[in-house]
Amino acid sequence: MSAARRNPLNSAAAHAALLAYVAIALFPVFVIVINSFKDRRSIFREPLALPDAESFSLIGYQTVLKQGDFFLYFQNSFIVTVASLFFILLFGAMAAFALAEYRFRGNMLMGLYLALGIMIPIRIGTVAILEMMVATNLVNTLWALILVYTAQGLPLAVFILSEFMRQVSDDLKNAGRIDGLSEYTIFLRLVLPLVRPALATVAVFNMIPIWNDLWFPLILAPAEETKTLTLGSQVFIGQFVTDWNAVLSALSMAILPVMGLYVIFSRQLIRGITSGAVK
């Protein structure tokens, strides 16, 4: 270990900086969660106070659960996020394996083409996407969202995963070939498990933007039965009146599943970030 890192003063300073960052990052979340358990008056009178016997109220949660089909929204968001992540990881890993493993004409160009998407925001194509969805009758289906999010996530996924796959030992893949494993088995059984940290990194990077997105649900799937959580919560925000209890409760509940997924991926994520392409 370097002398700088052993020095207790430096170490304390680093921890202080990190703690300060954590406090700043978590503060809004904290405020949202505590206020979701207060009645409306207390929210405005003392936004930073913890709920006490007098101000404690579950009115927000009651409104959310009664109003609209909150569980359906929840389920929609969950299906869209999980399915998009699944396809991003599956197709991303497949493309990355081909780019990393096989020498073919245009390999470089193909890699560049796939990476180009990292720099071009997909929202630029919203009108064209909407036209395509209308033409294929996919408007107001969850598939519309899943397809768009998969397309949006693939460039970065291919880029990160192919970088990691190049690091997987050639000898291991060749040993598999000599032992008669098919290319599919080599991909699924040997290479994928070894790039798990990279898969987790890609999953986390994609998960939060998809979960929080308002743009595409609003444009492509605004129907009642396909509303996502973020879109569904908008009913509480009116032009003139906003039901803050309900908004804060909805947001508090929306945090939970992402946190759950993050916990699943986090150990692998840390390994991924500390070991490779996205340093």
Partner 1 sequence: MTALVLKDVCKSFGAVDVLRNIDLTVEDGEFVVFVGPSGCGKSTLLRVIAGLEDATSGDVEIAGARVNAVPPAKRGIAMVFQSYALYPHLTVKENMALALKQEGTPRDVIAARVAEATRMLELGPYLDRRPADLSGGQRQRVAIGRAVVRQPKLFLFDEPLSNLDASLRMATRIEIAALHRSLSAAMIYVTHDQTEAMTLADKIVVLRDGRVEQIGSPMELYNNPANRFVAGFLGAPAMNFLDAATLGGPGGATLGIRPEHLRVTDAGRIKGTVAHVENLGGDTNIIVETGAGERVTVRVFGQYPCTVGRSAALDFDDADAFLFDAAGARLVAEPA
Provide the 8-state DSSP code for 179: T
Contact between 184 and partner 1 (CB under 8 A)?
A: no
| Interface stretch with partner 1, choices 9-17, 29-37, 155-163, 174-182 (CB under 8 A) | 174-182
Which of residues 136 and 185 has its CB atom nearest to partner 1 in the complex? 185
Residue pointed to by tokens 């209308």: 134
CB of 213 closer than 8 Å to CB of 229 = no
Pick one of 118, 190, 235, 278: the residue that binds partner 1 (CB under 8 A): 190
Pick one of 171, 238, 239, 240: the residue that binds partner 1 (CB under 8 A): 171
What distances in angstroms separate CA 113 from CA 106, 151, 204, 258, one per listed residue?
A: 10, 13, 24, 31
Contact between 172 and partner 1 (CB under 8 A)?
A: yes
CB of 38 closer than 8 Å to CB of 190 = no
Q: d(Cα 216, Cα 198) in Å, to the nearest integer? A: 27
| Interface stretch with partner 1, choices 52-60, 151-159, 172-180, 251-259 (CB under 8 A) | 172-180
- CA 82 to chain centroid, in Å, comes to 9
3-state secondary structure of 56: strand
Q: d(Cα 153, Cα 164) in Å, to the nearest integer? A: 17
Least distance (Å) from partner 1 to the CB of residue 259?
30
Q: d(Cα 229, Cα 217) in Å, to the nearest integer? A: 10
Contact between 174 and partner 1 (CB under 8 A)?
A: yes
For 180: left if phi > 0, alpha if psi spans -120 to 50, otherwise beta; the answer is left
Pick one of 41, 45, 123, 177: the residue that binds partner 1 (CB under 8 A): 177
Least distance (Å) from partner 1 to the CB of residue 175?
4
Can you read off the two tokens belonging to residue 199?
């898969």
Contacts with partner 1: how many residues (CB under 8 A)? 15
Contact between 115 and partner 1 (CB under 8 A)?
A: no
Q: d(Cα 132, Cα 130) in Å, to the nearest integer? A: 5
Which of residues 190 and 258 has its CB atom nearest to partner 1 in the complex? 190
Least distance (Å) from partner 1 to the CB of residue 277?
21
| Interface stretch with partner 1, choices 57-65, 153-161, 178-186, 228-236 (CB under 8 A) | 178-186
Which of residues 101 and 243 has its CB atom nearest to partner 1 in the complex? 101
Residues at the interface with partner 1 (CB under 8 A) = 169, 171-172, 174-181, 189-190, 193-194
